[in-house]
Amino acid sequence: MTLNDIVYTNPDAPLADRVEDLLSRMTLEEKISQMLHESPAIERLGVPAYNWWNECLHGVARAGAATVFPQAIGMAASWNVELLSRVATAISDEGRAKHHQAIRQGNRDIYFGLTFWTPNINIFRDPRWGRGQETYGEDPYLTARLGVAFCRTLQGDDPNYLKTVATPKHYAVHSGPEPLRHFFDAVCNPRDLRETYLPAFQACVQEAGALSVMGAYNRTNGEPCCASETLLQKILREEWGFEGYVVSDCGAICDLHEHHKVTKSPAESAAMAVANGCDLNCGEIYHQLNAAVQAGLLKEEQIDTSLRRLLTARFRLGMFDPPERVPYTSIPVDVVECPEHRALARTTAQESIVLLKNEGNLLPLDPAKLKKIFVVGPMAMNQRVLLSNYYGLSENLVTILEGITAAVPKGTCVTCEKGCHEFQKNSFSSPYLLEVEAKQADVIVACLGTTPEIEGEEGAEANSDGGGDRVDIRLPGSQEEFLKKLASFGKPVVLVLTGGSPIAVEWAKENVPAILMCWYPGEEGGAAVADVLFGKYNPAGRLPVTFVKSLDQLPPFEDYAMAGRTYRFMKEEPLYRFGYGLSYTTFSYDNPRLSKDKIAGVEDSVTVSVDVTNTGPRDGDEVVQLYVRDVEASVPVPELHLEGFRRIHVKAGETKTVSLELSGNQLVCYDDEGLPMLEPGVFEISVGGGQPGDSAGGAKTVELTAG
């Protein structure tokens, strides 16, 4: 008998037949062993060991060398779907190369697999959440478009083999508080569930074909997310037609009995999770599945169903086929941290930077006219703010100070002081030294903001008072006091902010002439900041999340109702609006028009077109944004909602026509039961460089009738 006589080893046999053949040869104990994230080898069947846990939020993480791209919230600020696809291509290339190199070295450990637990498409509903930095922001539509691009590209386009597996997470209704996540019940009404929390997951599953979904730690409306019949069976599988596998968040199955108290034992927890559709356990509780079967809590056929999904993924990744049959095995290992990927990291960082203020056109700076630049602040030389969380390692980390120093002529003096601590109070450098350096400088570049040490995942890097979340969204420690001191010296100040979430910089908005938000910008972050400061790159990033003035503008953190949250439901004027961002040039919008003035139903569509002219002195990118306002709804609806966008490059003096498709399905509202309906009535369609009413956006509005 040859290997090809055994069905599961025959690469030419139908996939379903191969899966069934291998499954039929396994004992119950062997089946169960393959449902834990650290799956051991089954030597008698030639099944290699495999660790399902890998991360690639903004680059292959936790496994040594990799290109470090800007954190997810920064990539979202690019508002560039095509760019995220390019980044996902680079990441999946590096992931494949590292995987095969590790196998050649006999390394099958954690973080070298092909099943990536990425992207995080939770809605960043509250700026206090420490993991909001991992998301694509607060808007369901923007999150969905970027998530679909990332998932689709990670998985590749080969008709027979997956490049990697994408795993949108954390399903669903999950965004803090971090210290409560293991026992918290996120209660939301059906309208908010369907209108805000689920759309991005549905898009990633149905449009991108994501093969995996990760459940959340918390409960949603009383049901633990990793064992929720409503979420996993009724919505994900029955309604959306999902055929892939579900993985628990790490340790989440323990929470069923230890914290949620919905079961009384590990065996009951394991049985409940599998019965409701959680196929893979990140953790050890599924070791109890044998006991669960023996006790009659679960049938072996239910275990077979889960394992069938998991084996399908491994076969589609080519793990049981000759390497020469799998196209992605030939990706060379020298693709990792290659010059092309480093250049892409710089491009991505450039596109992510948001110019929040530029009074008197202080920026861009002319390096030829500057004798001395004072770069000051705890983020100037800080490598940690380049890396963020879930990061790989690069030998090419460029801090803000290094980027500025490399960008100016050798005859320019650049000096640097930390000035104050990242988050401790009353920790200043010598006041005399600070004053001397500041008064001698032509310009002060103040590098302030937040760090991964004070915002992040519960139990991980962050050590803030909020257990990963922020209890205060202002500049940490004494940074604002320090900024005021710098401004008092009478020299031009450029504030460069780092961070993964909105920062309430109301004083700076009123008193500092120029402000850049560079997020956690990745390995080339310092170079990208310098490119923007000195005009090598014209900034065009846009905020993917609202910057509120203070916590007083927000509902309680634990409240998952969307009322009063994000630009879609907030009635007060924030510090900076979602979608906001300035440029070194200006744009005008003219001749907004519809292909027709009435839309018949959810299957119908209309084309929205507008002429965009670069009316300023520089070539630059513009982000065209389309918003919808339902002015006659009979049920509660958002104040307005994003339903289209495109980032375009327009030369100085050039006019481009941009057309965006708008479907009837994008005009629906939801009744009290969460059911969608397209009501007859008038809709205001706004298209411009920001929200309607934003003076910097120049938006134009037309009316569309439905019904």
Q: 52 is written with which tokens? A: 């399902």
Q: With H, G, I as helix, E, B as strand and everything else as coil, classify residue 128.
A: coil
DSSP conformation class of 259: T
- Burial letters for 434-447: b for 16+ Cβ neighbours within 10 Å, e otherwise? beebbeebebbbbb
Q: How many Cβ atoms sit within 10 Å of the Cβ of residue 513?
A: 18
Catalytic center residues? 249, 455
Contact 349, 74 (CB under 8 A): yes
Separation CA 4–CA 325 (nearest Å) = 14
Strand 50-51 versus strand 38-39 pairing type: antiparallel
H-type alpha helices, 472-579? 479-487, 506-511, 525-533, 566-569
Calpha distance 138→127 (Å, rounded): 9
In 3D space, the residue among 532, 661, 519 whose CA is nearest the CA of residue 594 turns out to be: 661
Pairing of strands 443-449, 514-519: unpaired
Secondary structure element (H or E) that encloses residue 142, with its range: helix 140-155
Neighbour-count burial for 305-330, b at 16+ CB within 10 Å, e otherwise: ebbbbbbbbbbbbbbbbeeeebebbe
> Rounded to an integer, what distance in angstroms lies between the CA atom of residue 93 and that of residue 336?
8
Integer Cα distance of 463 and 35 in angstroms: 33
Structure tokens at 453: 């040490």
Whether the Cβ atoms of residue 311 and residue 303 lie closer than 8 Å to each other: no
DSSP string, 77-127: HTT-HHHHHHHHHHHHHHHHHHHHHHHHTT---TT-SSBB---B------T
Q: Are 514 and 358 in contact (CB under 8 A)?
A: yes
Residues 6+ apart with CB under 8 A from 406: 398, 527, 530
* 3-class secondary structure per residue, 213-239: EEECCCEECCEEHHHCHHHHHHHHHHH
Q: Give the whole-angstrom CA distance, residue 595 versus residue 46.
A: 60
Q: Do the Cβ atoms of 609 and 658 come closer than 8 Å?
A: yes
How many alpha carbons fall within 13 Å on the CB side of residue 542?
Answer: 25
281 token code pair: 């356990």
- Distance separating the N- and C-terminal Cα atoms of the chain: 67
Cis peptide before 574 (omega within 30 of 0): no
Half-sphere exposure of 263 (CA within 13 A, CB side): 22
